[in-house]
Amino acid sequence: MNISQQLSRLKRGIFRIKRFPRFLILLIASIAAIQFLILPALTQQPVTVQVLMSALEASQWQPFVEDFEQQNPGINLEIIEGPNETNLVEDLYTSAFLLGKSPYDLVYLDIVWVPKFAAAGWLMPLSDRVSEDQLAEFLQGDVEGGRYNGELYRMPFRSDGGMLYYRTDLLKQGGYEPPETFDELMQISQALQQQTDIDLGYLWQGKQYEGLSAMFVEILEGFGGFWVNPDTLEVGLDQPEAIQAVEFLRNTIDKGVSPPGVTTYAEEETRRIFQNGEAIFLRNWPYVYTLAADSEIAGQFAIKPMVHQPNDSSGACQGGWGLGISKSTKHADEAWKVIEFFNRPEVQQQFILATGYAPALKSLYTDPELVAKYSYLPKLLEVLEKAVLRPPIAQYAQTSDILQRYLSAAITQSLSAEEAMNRAAQETRRLLGD
């Protein structure tokens, strides 16, 4: 083969080598485009982010869920409706996490669940996603209630604090000022129960569940007592103040101010009876305000801080709800988008306007549109700034369970107030390792 033949063979070879890869490259590129670009685009499903909450609140979230999905077309926010009582919802989350297959990407947390859920490792830390400046916009109690061992696990969504509702028309009719002390509450109730055709004086949550503990911390604070000191784990349930607090509750039933059925009532039962115009006083959370304003007693009730002993101050139990991200989710960023959306001031403002819950964002307490609708907001802020926390300890659920059992025994007359509180204190000390 001469040089020119060799050259032309080499060229053909090169040409062949060149032609083959070109074809291959085109083929590979087309397959890749189908596989990685076109197919996913055609089959891509929006990511679903799931969260569980009480049925009552799920219905209130729904209009906002629609707004969120419109603004975030790649994310479906699915709300699973649970029972209305907080500890029943807590049980559902707890069993899902214990089984290790939680379907929930987001956790809508009552303030009292945070230490337990965080200590169990069920929640993702959030402090990388939010600055301290952003957190400073929220009520301090609500932010602190979202921390455990210095880490943030829950963003506040709405706050809560227990209040005393009273019938303005009936008090006026009897010539009474709203009560400040426990004794005044009893006296006004008894007098009005006699003078009017209203049978029930004072309604509170006496059922054996978390609401009983929440209500009790307010009575305890009003008597100057304490439950568990979170720093020292000292237990105060067998102190005279705590026993007096239980005696007060028993007295409301003994004296006919509260009906015996009060020992089976949660928030909703008491709200309905009060709204029907059947009672003078009610202990409940701010959510009742909007619902009652649209009921038979519209325009005939007001709220004030809880009553107390003459030398003590009133206590509002610090409640409240917020969102955390489940440690096991595969969609943490999408879950955070949901949190960001629900934390926007305009979303919170609209949510509060529609529901009457206590805002978690401080600025909303002076928001003109909100204050025009809920004139009590500035006062509520004062109450919430001094709200009493239930002990923020990892064993809170068991601690509260002990208290609920013994309180229930005392108010249903199975044990004396003293016996019940002595036993509650002992069991709590044993639990907390004293």
Stretch that binds ligand GLC, among 14-22, 105-113, 121-129, 181-189 (CB under 6 A): 105-113
- Looking at the Cβ atoms of 109 and 425, the one nearer to ligand GLC is 109
- Is 110 among the residues that bind ligand GLC (CB under 6 A)? yes
- Looking at the Cβ atoms of 115 and 320, the one nearer to ligand GLC is 320
The minimum distance between CB 111 and ligand GLC, in angstroms, equals 5
- Member of 206, 259, 286, 319 binding ligand GLC (CB under 6 A): 319
Rounded (10°) angle between helices 55-71 and 332-343: 100
- Is 270 among the residues that bind ligand GLC (CB under 6 A)? no
CB atoms within 10 A of CB 19: 10
The minimum distance between CB 211 and ligand GLC, in angstroms, equals 3
The minimum distance between CB 331 and ligand GLC, in angstroms, equals 27
- Is 107 among the residues that bind ligand GLC (CB under 6 A)? no
- Member of 160, 221, 241, 427 binding ligand GLC (CB under 6 A): 160
The minimum distance between CB 205 and ligand GLC, in angstroms, equals 7
DSSP collapsed to 3 states, the chain: CCHHHHHHHHHHHHHHHHHHHHHHHHHHHHHHHHHHHHHHHHHCCCEEEEEEEEHHHHHHHHHHHHHHHHHCCCEEEEEEEECCCHHHHHHHHHHHHHHCCCCCCEEEEEHHHHHHHHHCCCECCCCCCCCHHHHCCECHHHHHCCEECCEECCEEEEEEECEEEEEHHHHHHHCCCCCCEHHHHHHHHHHHHHHCCCCEEEECCCCCCHHHHHHHHHHHHHCCCCCECCCCCCECCCCHHHHHHHHHHHHHHHCCCCCHHHHHCCHHHHHHHHHCCCEEEEEECCHHHHHHCCCCCCCCEEEECCCECCCCCCCCEEEEEEEEEECCCCCHHHHHHHHHHHHCHHHHHHHHHHHCCEECEHHHHHCHHHHHHCCCHHHHHHHHHCCECCCCCCCHHHHHHHHHHHHHHHHCCCCCHHHHHHHHHHHHHHHCCC
- Member of 214, 228, 249, 325 binding ligand GLC (CB under 6 A): 214
- Looking at the Cβ atoms of 163 and 214, the one nearer to ligand GLC is 214
- Is 139 among the residues that bind ligand GLC (CB under 6 A)? no
- Is 113 among the residues that bind ligand GLC (CB under 6 A)? no
- Is 52 among the residues that bind ligand GLC (CB under 6 A)? no
Residues 74-103 that bind ligand GLC (CB under 6 A): 86
By the 8 A CB rule, do 253 and 186 touch?
A: no
The minimum distance between CB 357 and ligand GLC, in angstroms, equals 9
- Looking at the Cβ atoms of 201 and 286, the one nearer to ligand GLC is 286
The minimum distance between CB 140 and ligand GLC, in angstroms, equals 16
Stretch that binds ligand GLC, among 127-135, 175-183, 302-310, 315-323 (CB under 6 A): 315-323
- Is 112 among the residues that bind ligand GLC (CB under 6 A)? yes
CB atoms within 10 A of CB 362: 17
- Is 285 among the residues that bind ligand GLC (CB under 6 A)? yes
Place of tokens 């227990």: 162
- Is 282 among the residues that bind ligand GLC (CB under 6 A)? no
- Looking at the Cβ atoms of 289 and 336, the one nearer to ligand GLC is 289
Stretch that binds ligand GLC, among 220-228, 316-324, 361-369, 377-385 (CB under 6 A): 316-324
The minimum distance between CB 269 and ligand GLC, in angstroms, equals 12
- Is 111 among the residues that bind ligand GLC (CB under 6 A)? yes
Tell me which residues touch ligand GLC (CB under 6 A): 86, 110-112, 160, 210-211, 214, 267, 285, 319-321
